[in-house]
Chain A
Amino acid sequence: MSLTVVFGYLATLLWTLKISLSSSRTLPVNNFVGLIQYERLFDNERWLLSLNNLAIYGVLFILACVIIGFLLAVFIDQNVTGEGVLRTIFLYPYAMSFVATGLVWQWMLTPGVGIQEGIRQLGFKDFQFNWIVDQDMVIYTVVIATVWQASGLVMAMLLAGLRGIDDDIWKAARMDGIPTWRVYLSIIIPMLAPSFATVFLLLATAVVKLFDAVEAMTQGGPGTASEVPAKFIMDHLFGRANLSLASAGAIMMLLPVLALLIPYAYARARKGKR
């Protein structure tokens, strides 16, 4: 039963590990060549570029999602009218696929017809917003689109956390005359630490898995300027028939996930014991 699934997970993982240590190209072969594929991987300009992109993307995406999501949650939590409608508006992009999200933003950001053109027609003739065709800026457009898609989720989870905080804390803080922003900074945010940890874990895994949005939005371009590891692996797996190199890449992608997951699991296990 669940055993088969575990075999599915574990066995495939080990298989990929083994292939990454071989010299397979189109078809898997069973020889052992040591870490050559990993050396080739880190000599590969495209792979290094994809790691670089992922680092930039990851930091900005997580920061933006957490900040925007937290601000939205805090502002919605101010007893506002139309709360339900606002919540719905902020979260609906999360129901859309990364492909649809990527395609919509691709179109809105295309210089000749999108936002740039729209604002120029409003009279700002020199307005420029052509990041999506700019090699140095294209990765930021992926950040914009995916933050639009995912920050509502952060809002929903942090809002649930905020609602779980006892009203007495607010009363006590008001009695002591502490300014609201200080209460958030020194009391509420630390209290929400578990929620933030979960949000961070979720967003971080989304970063490592980033593929659909790039494929739909820029197809890795212009050139290879918005290449990401998941796309590199897919290309070498199916397009370029370089199985062992792709497997080495896949194993490398596993490392950051484990690096995040193990401390998290450890922290939970310790908490469970207490």
Chain B
Amino acid sequence: MRTNTKRIWTPARIGIYAFLLTAAAFFLLPLYIMLVTSFKSMEEIRLGNIFALPMHMTVEPWRQAWSTACTGVACEGISSGFWNSVAITLPSTLLAIFLGALNGYALSFWRPRGSQLLFAILLAGAFIPVQVMMFPLVRVLAVLNIFSTLPGIVLVHVIFGMPIMTLLFRNYYLGIPQELFHAARIDGGGFFRIFVQLMLPMSLPMIVVAAIMQVTGVWNDYILGLVFAGREHLPMTAQLNNVINTTTGTRMYNVNMAATILTALLPLAIYFISGRWFVRGIAAGAVKG
């Protein structure tokens, strides 16, 4: 109920705030525990309470997580995974956006024969479990000699990101008046010239939304990186899982939590900085699907 009355402390309003604050506490709890744990020493963790603040703050776990924690065989921390993820995310995002914009442009202005059907199949592709396409893709990449390489994993991300990217740009371009396009054609613009000189500059708001979606999506991916990236280019998420789930002996909970925060840092930063854009992005990608 949206009332326009002044805020008075009725029992109902107290109830509303009680519910919201309880919920907020539940949602914040893991973040709080991650943070306090990452600043504790192992002795303190073994003896202390999971909810307690650290008695002696130490940044040692963070240093270890970044540069000495063991990810399977190597013990160089997850910094290499960070740079792998950067190397995977950057080209995957740029390429997927460029191709998505190109597809969307072709679908909304040029409308080649059969494009509706192609578009429908492409969209359905967004919902297909990756396992269905995984092994054939492994074979294709192996034949192309790019399995377990950087170009290989980038290609896979571009393929799986294509449906949403195309959808975003198609819907965006549908909102641009056709007259503008016709005028450009009369002025002698070709397919690519109109795209590069007219459409791309106009699509800046959509490019931002698409970039947010693709960057967080690729950064948070685990399964594709695990299968296609190969040991040399394992993304941060996969290394993180190795750090925590394959260590023998005592578990370094403080290091683990620091590593987890480090891995989540980039998408969280994007979320907090971009705010409304992030919500708009997921909503645009989701609602119209």
Contacts and interface: CB of A to CB of B under 8 A. Distances in A.
B234 interface: no
Given A2-B103, A99-B240, A148-B30, A243 B135 contact: yes
A267 to B, nearest CB: 13
B132 A254 contact: yes
Given A90-B24, A100-B240, A153-B282, A108 B133 contact: no
Contacts of A265: 120, 124
Interface string B19-33: 110011011111101
A230 B3 contact: no
B257 interface: yes
A198 interface: yes
Interface string A112-125: 01110110011000
Interface string B27-44: 111110110010000000
Given A95-B278, A100-B260, A148-B30, A246 B135 contact: yes
B282 A94 contact: yes
A118 B289 contact: no
A179 to B, nearest CB: 10
Contacts of B29: 108
Contact of A253 (B45, B129, B219): B129
A238 B135 CA distance: 9
Contacts of B253: 107, 113
A117 to B, nearest CB: 6
Contacts of B16: 75, 78, 80
Contact of B283 (A6, A68, A160, A237): A160
Interface string B83-124: 000000000000000010011001100000001001111101
B287 interface: yes
A2 B219 contact: no
Given A78-B16, A148-B30, A211-B223, A198 B286 contact: yes
B249 interface: no
Contact of A261 (B127, B131, B272): B127
B130 interface: yes
Interface residues of A, number: 93
Contact of A250 (B24, B34, B131): B131
B236 to A, nearest CB: 9
Interface string A213-235: 00110010000000000100110
Given A5-B159, A215-B241, A98 B132 contact: no
A180 B1 CA distance: 7
Given A89-B27, A183-B1, A71 B278 contact: no
Nearest to A121: B49
27 contacts: A1-B103, A2-B118, A5-B159, A6-B118, A8-B137, A9-B122, A9-B124, A9-B125, A80-B16, A80-B17, A89-B27, A94-B271, A95-B271, A100-B263, A103-B240, A103-B241, A103-B256, A105-B30, A115-B50, A122-B49, A148-B27, A148-B30, A156-B283, A198-B287, A230-B129, A251-B132, A261-B127
Contacts of B267: 95-97
Contacts of B106: 1-2
A227 B154 CA distance: 29
Given A180-B1, A216-B245, A219-B245, A97 B237 contact: yes
B169 to A, nearest CB: 11
Contacts of B196: none
A13 B124 CA distance: 12
Contact of A12 (B46, B50, B133, B275): B133
Contact of A254 (B129, B260, B275, B287): B129
B166 interface: yes
A76 B139 CA distance: 50
Contacts of B17: 80
Given A96-B264, A103-B241, A156-B282, 17 more contacts: A28-B139, A80-B17, A80-B20, A92-B268, A95-B278, A97-B221, A99-B220, A118-B49, A174-B1, A202-B289, A212-B222, A233-B131, A247-B135, A250-B129, A251-B132, A254-B128, A265-B120
